[in-house]
Amino acid sequence: MNHLITFAGLFLLMSVQPIMASEADNCRQCHIQIVDEWRTSQHARSMLPATPDNVLGNFSHVRFFSEDVEAKFYRQSDRYHVRLTESGQTSNWTVRYTFGIYPLQQYLIETGDGKLQALNIAWDSRSVDAGGQRWFRLDAAEHQRPENPLHWRGVYQNWNGMCADCHSTAFRKGYIPDTDRYESHFEQINVSCSACHARANTHAQAARSGESQSAGADLSARGAWLTGTLEHKPQHTGPLTSTKQVETCGRCHSLRTRLDQSPAGGLNNHYSLTRLQSPLYYADGRVREEVFVLGSYLQSKMHEAGVVCSNCHNPHSGKLLLAGNALCSQCHAAPSFDQPHHHHHPQGSPGAQCVSCHMPETTYMQIDPRREHNFTTPNPVTSRQSDSPDPCLACHNDQNREWSIQQMSFLWPEHRERSDWFEIQQADLPTMVRFIADQQQVALYRASLLEQQAGTIGRVAPKIILQQLQSPDPLMRESGWKAATNLQPSDLHGQAMIGLQDTHLNVRLAAFEALMLAGALPSKPTRVRAEYEAYLQQQSDRPAGRTLIGRYARISGDSAVAEQHFKIALEMDNAYLPAYILLTDLLRNQQRFVDAIASLNNGLDQLPENSSLWHLRGLTWLQLKKHEEALGDLGKAARLAPDNWLFSYRYALVSLRLGHIEQAQQAAVTLSEIAPDNPQVKALLKEIQAKKQNKPL
């Protein structure tokens, strides 16, 4: 029975069974070895019809229990079904597709309106010895209620909007926002040849006619690497590899936002890469949430040196080129590095493996360990300061951070801890500005820092933002325009048409949005407005997209449409903070204070520890002249966000106006610590002191 397949047998099965009639069959007429390698890959099995050849899970009337969920998996003829009981409600579902293959296989269920949803109970396809061959649950128990957006039928588990773009080839979402339905389609169900080689089909047709046409961008690794030792670094010889390879792989192996429906668009053009922001990354740049590989890799010395994906991975099978330390020894000479005098662990032990220290693992989806790709050395002091995992403690889990710091000093006394990203975030503003301007620094660090510090830089050093609008790197130009929302409209007039006519879509959209928010859009019509509206349409099946549409409608003067979309966003996700904030702002602006309070009450039911919502409700109570209620909420906001000077300032100011001088004095102590040079804070402190002494100002 297929649910008893072992890991070794799994790859045998993958190699001998035909995937399905596809463009790969055409390609195999010439590229036999490459296609046969691909057929053993995860890409080939990224998504397939739920047939006996493809389903690994045990559907022989087995039952699964977890908290308030019961599932019965069964098969009728060649169709696979799930009888699901949740919170006392029972429903029957048919599995349409398999999703992935190892170390787990998920199952897609059609729930109506063209929606495919990823079931929250998956099959562990590892061997029995590894703990597999079982059903297990992917989500937390609190997500099991259907109204929760993380429930398997919720917006964040929707295949059409969250998964399909990378698991199928030439996918078009086809979302219809007015009816909340999809008319999605793809050209190939899995990750096939043209997912990477954009003109593969044209190339194949030309070959059959005896002609020669390119299959797309040149993705091959060029040149060679001379191994490095302790005395000198590895050296690349020959022509450099095109950046297209990393961009092509990174298009899916990254956390990014798709900006249009281009079937094979480029990164930093048709896709916008997520920056190194919390909580996605730790403060030292280590991966925290499921952001995949590219954001980590772009931080690395490997990327800076010109190493590309296929230097380590077979791009068609997905397997590593060599096993264990032999892979790293292609460039880093084994006599120098694969020795106890370097790694200080018994030869052949887990601690002696290069990846244990330089590519530590994080497990996602319960059983899927994935390795870091920034190739750093263990930095236990920085790990402690940034609260990121210490690689040493992954093995030595009976020890603590202090032990790790001591061991590092003892075993590698000459080791100097270095974390460019962590250190620059602790620097003073002039140092940050110089870092952003320095094109020799990692671009992703510079872009992330610029966006992170945009508010302060916009006030103190606006020229550095304007300079980035002219950067040769589209990543920096995009971040420059995102930061430009903190500039004066007059600063942007000379840059407007340059940004709106940029060759990269991500930059044009960022420029349009910045100019729109600043009220500095030129009167001359441009194509970018249509591109921006198409981008909003592309995102409209998610709460974030609906919120952006609402903001756009409000700026365009249509408050009714704006309110409608903010509310739709909250129907999709009743804990989506930006929608609450923008809806509250709209209602307060219309003097609908009671409605604003009702909306904020809903928000605080979902997000009881969110300081911004407490602060907004406090301000709204003030507008209703409910002073004591306002004071309570403003105080709560200040306590929840002690580093936010504005929250403490407003709490102190209202306390003072209501005659609570001691409360105002206590809040002023916090203010004097976090914003000692702020002129508003200085004036308030002076007023409080005068009140205490009964002196006129």
Q: What are the CB-based long-range contacts (under 8 Å, 24+) for 370-378? A: 370/292, 370/293, 372/286, 372/287, 372/296, 373/293, 373/296, 373/297, 373/300, 374/285, 374/286, 374/296, 374/297, 374/299, 374/300, 375/300, 375/301, 375/302, 376/300, 376/419, 377/415, 378/404, 378/408
Which tokens go with 72?
């019965």
Mean pLDDT of 71-86: 96
**Mean pLDDT of all residues belonging to the chain:** 93
Q: At 320, is the secondary structure helix, strand, or coil?
A: strand
Q: At 377, is the secondary structure helix, strand, or coil?
A: coil
Question: What letter represents residue 416's amino acid?
Answer: R
For residue 415, name the pLDDT band (cuts at 50, 70, 90).
confident
Of 552, 516, 591, 538, whose CA–CA distance to 566 is shortest?
Answer: 552
For 342-351, how does the pLDDT look when each residue is reduced to its tens digit (9 = 90+)?
A: 999 999 999 9
Q: CB count, 10 Å around CB of 239?
A: 8
Angle at 277 between CA 517 and CA 505, to 5 degrees: 50
Of 225, 369, 238, whose CA–CA distance to 302 is shortest?
Answer: 225
What integer pLDDT is reported at residue 1 of this predicted model? 38
Continuous segment of H or E residues that includes residue 107: strand 104-112
The strand pairing partners of 363, in sequence order, are 369
Mean pLDDT of 596-600: 98
- Within 540-576, residue ranges assigned H as helices are 543-555, 559-572
Which comes out higher in pLDDT, residue 340 or 261? Answer: 340
Give counts: helices (H), strands (E), the chain.
36, 17
Cα–Cα distance between 541 and 50 in angstroms, integer? 26
Strands 175-176 and 134-137: unpaired
For 124-135, how does the pLDDT look when each residue is reduced to its tens digit (9 = 90+)?
A: 999 999 999 999
Mean pLDDT of 53-68: 95
What integer pLDDT is reported at residue 690 of this predicted model? 87
For 1-39, how does the pLDDT look when each residue is reduced to its tens digit (9 = 90+)?
A: 344 444 443 443 333 233 444 789 999 999 999 999 999
What HEC string does 619-658 produce?
A: HHHHHCCCHHHHHHHHHHHHHHCCCCHHHHHHHHHHHHHC
For 168-197, how does the pLDDT look when each residue is reduced to its tens digit (9 = 90+)?
A: 999 999 999 999 999 999 999 999 999 999
Alpha-carbon distance values, 194 to 19, 425, 685 (Å): 16, 41, 66
Q: At 383, is the secondary structure helix, strand, or coil?
A: helix
For residue 670, name the pLDDT band (cuts at 50, 70, 90).
confident
What integer pLDDT is reported at residue 3 of this predicted model? 41
Continuous segment of H or E residues that includes residue 370: strand 368-371
Of 483, 395, 506, whose CA–CA distance to 433 is shortest?
Answer: 483
What integer pLDDT is reported at residue 141 of this predicted model? 80
Domain boundaries along the sequence of the chain: 2-182, 224-376, 612-697
For residue 695, name the pLDDT band (cuts at 50, 70, 90).
low
Cα–Cα distance between 80 and 59 in angstroms, integer? 7
What integer pLDDT is reported at residue 672 of this predicted model? 87
Asked whether residue 203 carries a pLDDT value surpassing 60, the answer given is yes
What integer pLDDT is reported at residue 43 of this predicted model? 97
- Are the C-beta atoms of residues 648 and 671 closer than 8 Å to each other? yes
Which comes out higher in pLDDT, residue 203 or 676? Answer: 203
Q: CB count, 10 Å around CB of 324?
A: 14
Of 192, 209, 372, 413, whose CA–CA distance to 281 is shortest?
Answer: 372
Q: At 687, is the secondary structure helix, strand, or coil?
A: helix
The pTM score is 0.92
612-697 CATH fold: 1.25.40
Residue 541 burial by CB count (10 A; 0-12/13-18/19+): exposed, middle or buried?
Answer: buried
Which of 285-316 are b and which e, b meaning 16 or more Cβ less than 10 Å from the residue's Cβ?
bbbbeebbbbbbbbbbebbeebbbbbbbebbb
What integer pLDDT is reported at residue 11 of this predicted model? 40
Angle at 125 between CA 119 and CA 129, to 5 degrees: 140
Q: What are phi and psi of 48, to 5 degrees?
A: -150, 160
Q: CB count, 10 Å around CB of 240?
A: 11
For 271-310, how does the pLDDT look when each residue is reduced to its tens digit (9 = 90+)?
A: 999 999 999 999 999 999 999 999 999 999 999 999 999 9
Cα–Cα distance between 245 and 308 in angstroms, integer? 7
Cα–Cα distance between 623 and 632 in angstroms, integer? 15
Q: Which of 370-374, 514-518, 576-580, 682-686 has the lowest mean pLDDT?
A: 682-686
Compute the Cα dihedral for 464, 467, 471, 476 and give only its sign: positive
Q: Which of 89-98, 220-229, 347-356, 673-682 has the lowest mean pLDDT?
A: 673-682
Q: CB count, 10 Å around CB of 266?
A: 19
